[in-house]
């Protein structure tokens, strides 16, 4: 496998640990970090507010070209490496590798309950995780550069090691091997 050495997108359902991992990549590997939510807020890339759910909707049509442009600018420094953190990152282009973090919905539920999410928002996210929505979307857009990691039993440092192994071409975790569909049946 060819080592991947430039731009990594980290995606997955809210609460799976994307920011924790991306922050670690920035700190330990000194990569440039683009946090999609912060990036959109700073540049006011919103198309409106979801009236029912009350959150601002990021305009992907504006976000994605801005992300691509920013990646190109950072990449002018040939040694620069970039990590893009966000559950919308996989809708954008410019990745050499897309990592989807997966977490058993029963563990995710505990994490989301600690956030101020409504019951309906928690259920929506748990169902999305059980169905593997982010992985399917990412694979449709990015094909075989997408890998998914089941992080349920891994510490952030373990996840970083796994990502490093993928980056170095030592390991591969293609989409389709993680199956949380039982959670739907049991709930
Ligand atoms: P996301 O960015 O995907 O929404 P966060 O990185 O904010 O997720 O993590 C959500 C919560 O889970 C945080 O409280 C974080 O400390 C915790 N967490 C993240 N990664 C792990 C892990 N590998 N093991 C246990 N807890 C974790």
| pLDDT score of 50 | 86
Task: Give 144 Cα–ligand 1 centroid separation in angstroms.
Answer: 26
**Which pLDDT tens digit goes with each residue over 119-153?**
999 999 999 999 999 999 999 999 999 999 999 99
- The answer regarding whether domain 7-103+134-177 maps to CATH 3.40.50.300 reads yes
The encoded tokens of residue 5 equal: 């050495």
Q: Is the CB of 98 under 6 A from ligand 1?
A: no
In DSSP notation, 18-52 reads HHHHHHHHHHHH--EEEEHHHHHHHTT-EEEE-TT
Query: What is the number of alpha carbons within 13 Å of residue 137 lying toward its C-beta?
Result: 17
Question: Which pLDDT band holds residue 110 (cuts at 50, 70, 90)?
Answer: very high
Q: Is the CB of 86 under 6 A from ligand 1?
A: no
| pLDDT score of 36 | 98
Helices and strands: H and E segment counts in the chain: 8, 7
Task: Give 80 Cα–ligand 1 centroid separation in angstroms.
Answer: 26
Q: Is the CB of 23 under 6 A from ligand 1?
A: no
């Amino acid at each position: 496998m060819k080592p991947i050495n430039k731009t990594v997108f980290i995606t997955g359902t809210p609460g799976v640990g994307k920011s924790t991992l991306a922050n670690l990549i920035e700190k330990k590997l000194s990569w440039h970090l683009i946090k999609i939510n912060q990036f959109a807020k700073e540049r006011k890339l919103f198309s409106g507010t979801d009236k029912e759910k009350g959150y601002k909707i990021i305009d992907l049509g504006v976000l994605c070209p801005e992300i691509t442009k920013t990646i190109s600018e950072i990449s002018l420094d040939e040694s620069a490496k970039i990590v893009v953190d966000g559950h919308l990152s996989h809708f954008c282009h410019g990745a050499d590798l897309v990592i989807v973090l997966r977490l058993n919905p029963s563990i995710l539920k505990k994490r989301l309950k600690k956030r101020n999410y409504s019951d309906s928002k928690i259920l929506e996210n748990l169902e999305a995780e059980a169905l593997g929505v982010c992985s399917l979307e990412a694979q449709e857009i990015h094909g075989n550069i997408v890998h998914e990691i089941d992080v349920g039993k891994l510490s952030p440092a373990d996840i970083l090691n796994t990502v490093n192994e993928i980056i170095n071409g030592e390991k591969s975790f293609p989409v389709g091997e993680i199956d949380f569909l039982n959670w739907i049946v049991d709930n």
